[in-house]
Amino acid sequence: MTVQNYFDLAGKVALITGGSRGLGREMALAFADAGADVIVSSRKLESCEEVTAQIRGMGRRSLAVAAHAGKWAEIDGLVAAAYATFPQIDILVNNAGMSPSMPSPQVTEELFDKVVSLNFKGPFRLSALVGQRMMSAGGGCIINISSGAAFKPMPNVVAYAGAKAALNAMTVSLAQEFAPAVRVNAIAAGPFLTDISKAWPEEARRTANNAAGRPGRPDEIVTTALYLASTASSYVNGAVVRCDGGLR
């Protein structure tokens, strides 16, 4: 096989939550460029449709589905819509998440539940539903977008760090449960200059406490995602791959 063949996603169907912006959008467009048809989901249908229009312009099929990735009823609807349009899902990326920064005593029960639901409970439900179908179809891969905060918990994001640590544990557990047909891996992302970074102080947008000394560009998630989504990582399962510039 050539290097290009390893990353070829032709004939594959990918479902990406939080796919309308940031890292999710970058992965959706990259997967389409590699040959995959892509289902783009987020809470706002109009935002999803903007990305699906770009993907169709690349000659791929694409479906926009509005769904809250932390609510099981909406996840069930997302799965039903996806399989009503495509015969199978080969790649699932659990990318949707939220990480509000707030002193722990100020975190309400409602906010705590929202953070855990979006970063852990929802990905569990979606992985369980899609993973089961992948097993029946004979193969597939799931990629969970985690965070460096799971390895190096930081103040004011305790619920988020805990949820991402749980996501990492889920990654390893489901890799065993769905093996050998389905691979389940995670990307522990560091600071990236996505939409959320617009609210950061200027210093945080220029420098970062990592070996690279800077935040990542959104497109710098692409090669790691392509690696885990393709046959290039056929012997990688239950791994949490750090893409954080060498977080300290």
Residue 190 belongs to domain with CATH number: 3.40.50.720
Any domain includes 5 = no
| Domain region containing 35 | 10-243
Tokens of 125: 């439900």
The H or E element that residue 34 is part of is none
- Asked if pLDDT for residue 195 goes beyond 90, the answer is no
- Asked if pLDDT for residue 41 goes beyond 80, the answer is yes
User: pTM to 2 decimals?
Assistant: 0.96
Longest dimension (CA), the chain: 55
Any domain includes 86 = yes
Which residue carries 């892509």 as its tokens? 38
The proportion of the chain whose per-residue pLDDT surpasses 70, expressed as a percent, equals 99
Residue-wise pLDDT tens digits, 50-95: 999 999 999 999 999 999 999 999 999 999 999 999 999 999 999 9
Please say if 83 is a catalytic residue: no
Structural domain count, the chain: 1
Q: Which of 83, 160, 227, 235 is catalytic?
A: 160
Any domain includes 177 = yes
Residue-wise pLDDT tens digits, 163-192: 999 999 999 999 999 999 999 999 999 999
End-to-end CA distance of the chain: 37
Any domain includes 248 = no
SS3 label, residue 242: strand
In this prediction, residue 154 has a pLDDT band, given cuts at 50, 70 and 90, of confident
Any domain includes 1 = no
- Asked if pLDDT for residue 198 goes beyond 90, the answer is no
Any domain includes 100 = yes
Any domain includes 197 = yes
Any domain includes 41 = yes
